[in-house]
Amino acid sequence: MSKKIYIDAGHGGVQPGAVNGKRKESDDALRLALKLQELLKGQDCEVRMSRTTDVDIDIDDRCADANKWGADYFLSVHRNASTSASATGDEIWIYSKANTYTEAKARNILNAVCKADGLKNRGVKKGAPSYTDYGVNKYTNMHSALIELGFISNASDNKVYDAKLDAIALALAKSLLSVVGSEWKEPVIKGDVNGDGKVTAADAREALRASAKLEKLSDREIQAADMNNDGKVTASDAREILKKSAGVK
């Protein structure tokens, strides 16, 4: 049975979170959450989102949705803020009474993100800055964490967030799979039969040979070569790969 990962894009709607000029935490969180959702498609997990648009959803409702769904892990995505423009780095928050197992999972995620964006690792923290616990950690039944990805009040952190958003999302995707006990599978590029990251005439030749039973392909290679998704590799697929390699639509 595949694991269930719940992605919560913090704030939303009339609750923008931290703001820096026209930049809103709620927008930044949603941008990343949507990228994360896309990356986890096709992986050995199910994904549920608290929101996919700019709407305000009550914390209790987010938690209740994750609990009812039976999520294995809950991650709430946020940006930090400070009155000091020099405050920088990533941190992650867990329930004040969380056990060492939950703490280890959170540290795994935070370390992966800090490696991806190069920002200061501010560590795993318990509770909340000015009260006992964040609701997303207190009211969820599964392992959970709230991650603060750089400071929206820091111009340099914002540049890193924008420039490395894809890398941050990938680090989160891989580490989330890891903490629920799954492994990251490199996405299959349609037409890239030999797995070198590009589609060339060589891939078309492999597909053609496979269609003529002159070569046996692995499951991954078949998935890449099967351009029309009919479950088999034919000369038609080889032609489509050749067209793609030449940039012909």
Tell me the pLDDT tens digit for each residue of 113-141. 999 999 999 999 999 999 999 999 999 99
Give the per-residue pLDDT at 1. 78
DSSP structure class, residue 133:
-
Q: Summarize pLDDT for 228-249 with one digit per residue, the tens.
A: 999 999 999 999 999 999 988 7
Tell me the three state secondary structure of residue 72: coil
Identify the CA nearest to 74 among candidates 6, 158, 131. Answer: 6
* 81 backbone dihedrals φ, ψ, rounded to 5°: -155, 155
Token pair of 50, please? Answer: 């608290």
Q: Which residues of the chain have pLDDT under 50?
A: none
Q: How many CB atoms lie within 10 A of CB 234?
A: 18
Return the percent helix, strand and coil in the chain, to nearest 5: 40, 20, 40
* Paired sense of beta strands 73-80 and 143-151, if any: parallel
Predicted model pTM: 0.85
- 82 Cβ contact list (under 8 Å, min separation 6): 151, 153, 154
Give the per-residue pLDDT at 42. 83
Give the per-residue pLDDT at 240. 95
**Residue 42 corresponds to which amino acid?**
G
Residues of the chain with CATH 3.40.630.40: 3-179
How many angstroms separate the CA atoms of 169 and 93, rounded? 18
Contact 183, 121 (CB under 8 A): no
How many angstroms separate the CA atoms of 145 and 74, rounded? 6
CATH class of 3-179: alpha beta
DSSP 190-224: TT-TT-SSS--HHHHHHHHHHHTTSSPPPHHHHHH
Burial class (CB in 10 A: 0-12, 13-18, 19+), 125: middle
How many angstroms separate the CA atoms of 146 and 47, rounded? 17
Catalytic residue, candidates 25, 91, 148, 240: 148
User: Which residues lie across from 23 on neighbouring strands?
Assistant: 20
Check if 148 is active-site: yes
